[in-house]
């Protein structure tokens, strides 16, 4: 099975992958509650969304959701949110009946951003650092060992408020 793209959490100004979330996960707003609809983006993202959390002033917020919405909803902006659209252009080699040539492929990435969506989660978040996004590095600089985690954080929350944070080297 293809590994799923992890949700992320910004903790102490750094982006961490969420590797486990134990507790009352039913408080995380669903697509229906948020007024959005998503479709499978790839085998690495069955839900069509990737949640990006932020811990700010010891509170857990759902700050941004990377969404893959069906065409009829692609311009939808939920109440009390804003949309961020990123176009990334990737250089690719195409081989067809005309031979092999270099082309440029555009990808549209849509994020729905919330400024004050507090999540009243009670439980623990298990985070691993660093989060790797291939767009953050030049391709030539990327090495396989860059994807290895070096730190683990366990964040204990009570009703959306941080009670304890433990960070250790892996």
- State pLDDT tens for residues 87-99: 989 888 999 998 9
Q: How many whole angstroms separate alpha carbon 49 and alpha carbon 131? A: 17
Q: Does residue 3 lie in a domain region? A: no
Q: How many domains does the chain have?
A: 1
| CA dist list (Å): 77 to 47, 62, 73 | 19, 16, 9
Instruction: Kindly state the average pLDDT of the residues 59-63.
Output: 97
Phi/psi of residue 80, nearest 5 degrees: 60, 30
Q: Which domain holds residue 151?
A: 8-169
Work out whether strand 14-23 and strand 123-129 pair parallel, antiparallel, or are unpaired: antiparallel
Query: Is residue 1, in this structure, part of any structural domain at all?
Result: no
- pLDDT band at 2, cuts 50/70/90? low
More confident residue, 128 or 43: 128
Q: Do the domain assignments include residue 134?
A: yes
What is the percent of the chain where pLDDT is above 70?
Answer: 92
So what's the pLDDT on residue 51? 96
Measured distance CA(118)–CA(115) in Å, rounded: 9
Closest CA to 153 of 3, 7, 10, 4: 10
pLDDT at 73: 82
On whether residue 90 sits in a domain, the answer given is yes
pLDDT of 37 > 70? The answer is yes
């Amino acid at each position: 099975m293809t590994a799923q793209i992890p949700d992320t959490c910004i903790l102490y100004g750094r982006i961490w992958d969420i590797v486990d979330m134990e507790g009352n996960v039913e408080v995380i707003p669903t697509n229906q509650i948020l007024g959005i609809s998503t479709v499978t983006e790839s085998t690495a993202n069955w839900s069509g969304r990737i949640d990006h959390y932020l811990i700010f002033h010891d509170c857990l917020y759902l700050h941004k959701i990377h969404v893959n919405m069906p065409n009829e909803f692609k311009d939808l902006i939920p109440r009390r949110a804003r949309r961020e659209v990123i176009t990334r252009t990737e250089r690719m080699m195409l081989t067809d009946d005309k031979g092999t040539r270099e082309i440029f492929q555009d990808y549209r990435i849509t994020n729905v951003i919330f400024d004050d969506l507090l999540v009243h989660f009670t439980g623990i978040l298990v985070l691993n650092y660093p989060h790797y996004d291939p767009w953050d590095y030049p391709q030539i600089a990327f090495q396989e060992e860059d994807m290895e985690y070096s730190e683990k954080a366990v964040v204990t929350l009570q009703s959306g408020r941080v009670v304890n944070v433990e960070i250790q080297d892996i």
